[in-house]
Amino acid sequence: MVQVNGLVGVPRWDGSATPEEMLRGILEYGVQDEPALPSVATFQVWPLPGPAVLTCRVCLVDGGSVPDFTEVAGAAIHVVESKELGTGIQFSTKHVVEDAGGEVTLHSVDLIFADDDAAMVFSLEQSFPALIAGAMPGLDVLKNAFRVFRPDGGKFVGRTPANVLNEKPWELVEDAR
């Protein structure tokens, strides 16, 4: 049984109270197409205390099916580390969609851990910047929770693609003023 009581009554975007039926509908929506997708796991991320949810799909794919992300215009690529999956990349994109109401900016984030044979891909669905930002801490925890073993018993370990710079984070220096 799923408990949604902590979010029942939370104000929605229009100020009205969130009903239990809406929350249950969101939970069901996130898993209704699960059998059609080749994921090994599906997670619903509730990035803020209200009726807003993102789906994260975790897929194990053939390494040859992973494209060269460095050639995607406008994408941001950063090296990421996972305790169990090794080194990978965070692939982030931004799309501006126009409709009669104006422009909407949507972001997407994928974490890809790959070696020569396989890749473990964490795909956070495309959404608004605030929801993506709120989901990132959970995605960080999630990438460290997975461990993959090969059929021969060997451990899968991702490697940094040769065409991605492994820039170290800036070192913060204490203010001496």
CATH of residue 53's domain is 3.40.1000
Is residue 77 in some structural domain?
Answer: yes
Is residue 70 in some structural domain?
Answer: yes
Query: What pLDDT is stored for residue 21 in this prediction?
Result: 78
**Domain range for 81:** 37-145
* Model-wide pTM > 0.85: no
| pLDDT one-digit tens code per residue, 16-70 | 777 777 767 766 766 665 555 567 777 777 666 666 778 888 888 887 777 776 6
Is residue 151 in some structural domain?
Answer: no
Is residue 154 in some structural domain?
Answer: no
| pLDDT one-digit tens code per residue, 167-177 | 555 555 666 65
Going by pLDDT thresholds of 50, 70 and 90, the confidence category of residue 3 is very low
Is residue 30 in some structural domain?
Answer: no
Class of residue 55 by CB neighbours under 10 A (exposed 0-12, middle 13-18, buried 19+): buried
- Tally the domains of the chain: 1
Is residue 159 in some structural domain?
Answer: no
Is residue 110 in some structural domain?
Answer: yes
- Residue 147's alpha-carbon distances to 17, 83, 85, 153, in angstroms, are 40, 9, 6, 12
